[in-house]
Structure 1
């Protein structure tokens, strides 16, 4: 087995066993703080000596959360609450929930009333995040999260420790961008392998994940370029369902870049090298974050960035994976599709949900999409 294959197996093991990773932190005496998407300030948790842990729900039928949510709510949020009600997060010291959409706002209240033993900490972000008053609002929100973390966990915050954490996170983001570029030149990085590299990052300390990613990039750099498969760029909130990725692989498609919140959307923006304080540097990172449906985008830059990415990576087409019942994504969809088509690119949109167990319609759409691209 080559080193590339060994690394691919390690990423798969971690990505597919979040419970094992969670228990490993607890067994080592590490306090764990859950981080609900989309832009939870993980750096604050890390700087206080605890482990941030991604919470993106699961591909499963919702059972207990139906008592709290109507059926037309986002499946990511529904399954997050469902797992909590089933005590799957027992042992977490706290969970941070950002309120970037109405569904996440409802989650905070349902968590407060339905989940015992895991206190929640809200993080309220401003949509007008770039003006001075928006930056001040964000900073005060972070300060509240720090106070709540200190109260819930007994850990202490220091701006100096945050500075060291920011360097860890900036390095990790740089490596993830390098991986995305390197993977685009190698068909051996299948959609599933690519998914595992990105997904595993949610369940590891970033410094540990960086070691594996750095080695993976080094291995890819030593290989000969191979790009014979159909090249696509993906867009959406979450593109990690193994059944969906298997369909792509069966149709000889490879993902050469993404505009996916759970993947590259986390790594496009670094904290600046300096600022009045390290907390201000973290505020600046959020201020400069963009090109996602959850954040105000008056310049309509997201669709421009998606088209530019597709052209840069020489993509044959764009796959938009629409999270069912996600209003912000649905609002952006017409603009994204128009921009892609106006640029002369082919696109297909499929709707997914955490509770889906059959992908027959998606399979038909993707098979047709492959044929269109193959004979374009």
Structure 2
């Protein structure tokens, strides 16, 4: 079995080389479909023998995408379009874009005109996802995605294949939840390494990633921890910048758990395998909660973050607020209030795919640590 360092290096290489991963799958004769955040139905894509590959943007200079977006819009969306225009997604068979926020809706429409050689497939989710009518709407939207995927790729859908993919994704969810618990016991794993493990999952077939995660859990079980750090909880859409994450390590902070859309939020809800496969997938979406882009008039996410901090005995909460993300900004008020009432220190750090200098964030973090 690979050593711990070998496994961590493997996760790092995959996380930092999505184009290499894409080309490797294409060379194997596989068809790849890009999946835009936050909750693209990967199980559907996987069940058709296609490779779902996450498209969360990149820390790059924006040029061409500025012709389609105003400056005051999420840089994740802008950088996804920029990569598409530059040809970085060359070889993929289609891109699926959900409609969970206004920026995502704009991305889909702009993609049709800016990247004409890669078919855009919309995934329309209902706002009221929990009633039976909401589940039926979600299922109908999945059926539309299936038809579009069949047209774009030439592959065929079957309920039996989806049932198997639902099992594979449930197994991966379980492995990632277990890993999160294990990592909390290993403060020697840096914030960047933790990111690599979660990020790499977006660029691999889930059964392949589950196998790597299982090896990592076994390797970590052989490690005797001697290091101790200050535990914090991170929350937000994305925590991907090396410059930002290194601040955690430089100041002796450990991410004990996260409520990050790019990370643990992906793995909280399983498909009910007792239901017919497509209904089970729609039911899964209806049960997803505690996320800024999911309709929640009671804002239960705030209480969830407080409970997470208490569970892991975290000293504070770090809100990584994606710049110009309205849903996250609306939620922050509730999260801050809930943390204040619970006596949990909280800090907000603005993040952006365009940021190259995190000196101000480092200064803010120093002050936050003094407060802790």
TM-score bracket for this pair, using the shorter chain length? over 0.9
Between the aligned partners of 2:153 and 2:122, the Cα distance in structure 1 is 15
Which consecutive residues of structure 2, in runs of 5 or more, have no partner in the other structure?
none
C-alpha displacement of 1:218: 1.6
Conserved in 1, the CA contact under 8 Å of 2:166 and 2:273?
no
C-alpha displacement of 1:223: 2.6
Aligned to 1:78: 78
Mean Cα displacement is larger for which, 214-223 or 137-146? 214-223
Between the aligned partners of 1:131 and 1:39, the Cα distance in structure 2 is 19
Conserved in 2, the CA contact under 8 Å of 1:150 and 1:156?
yes
Conserved in 2, the CA contact under 8 Å of 1:185 and 1:226?
no
Aligned to 1:288: 287
Between the aligned partners of 1:224 and 1:344, the Cα distance in structure 2 is 33
Report the secondary structure of 1:320's partner residue.
strand
Please provide the CA RMSD for this pair. Answer: 1.1
Conserved in 2, the CA contact under 8 Å of 1:77 and 1:107?
yes
Aligned to 1:130: 130
Between the aligned partners of 1:178 and 1:198, the Cα distance in structure 2 is 13
Between the aligned partners of 2:262 and 2:202, the Cα distance in structure 1 is 9
Conserved in 2, the CA contact under 8 Å of 1:185 and 1:227?
no
Aligned to 1:168: 168
Between the aligned partners of 1:345 and 1:262, the Cα distance in structure 2 is 24
Conserved in 1, the CA contact under 8 Å of 2:37 and 2:56?
yes
Between the aligned partners of 1:298 and 1:77, the Cα distance in structure 2 is 25
Between the aligned partners of 2:364 and 2:279, the Cα distance in structure 1 is 46
C-alpha displacement of 1:221: 2.5
Aligned to 1:60: 60
C-alpha displacement of 1:2: 7.9
Between the aligned partners of 1:369 and 1:30, the Cα distance in structure 2 is 48
Give 1:100-249 correspondences, 5 Å limit.
100-226=100-226, 228-249=228-249
Between the aligned partners of 2:256 and 2:33, the Cα distance in structure 1 is 32
Report the secondary structure of 2:301's partner residue.
helix
Aligned to 2:333: 334
Between the aligned partners of 1:86 and 1:223, the Cα distance in structure 2 is 44
Conserved in 2, the CA contact under 8 Å of 1:93 and 1:153?
yes
1:45 matched to 2:27? The reply is: no
TM-score normalised by structure 2 residue count: 0.98
Conserved in 2, the CA contact under 8 Å of 1:93 and 1:118?
yes
Aligned to 1:343: 342
Aligned to 1:356: 355
Between the aligned partners of 1:302 and 1:222, the Cα distance in structure 2 is 35
Between the aligned partners of 1:342 and 1:27, the Cα distance in structure 2 is 55
**Stretches (4+) displaced over 6 A:** none
Between the aligned partners of 1:60 and 1:187, the Cα distance in structure 2 is 30
Report the secondary structure of 2:34's partner residue.
strand
C-alpha displacement of 1:60: 1.3
Report the secondary structure of 2:194's partner residue.
helix
Report the secondary structure of 2:53's partner residue.
strand
Give 1:242-321 correspondences, 5 Å limit.
242-275=242-275, 277-321=276-320
Report the secondary structure of 2:142's partner residue.
helix
C-alpha displacement of 1:361: 1.1
Residues 2 and 366 (structure 1 numbering): CA distance in 2 closer, same or farther, change over 3 Å?
Answer: farther
Q: Deviations over 1:138-195 (max 9, x none)?
A: 0000000000000000000000000000110000000100111110011111101110
Report the secondary structure of 2:106's partner residue.
helix
C-alpha displacement of 1:340: 1.1
Aligned to 1:17: 17
Between the aligned partners of 2:45 and 2:199, the Cα distance in structure 1 is 19
Report the secondary structure of 2:317's partner residue.
strand
C-alpha displacement of 1:299: 2.9
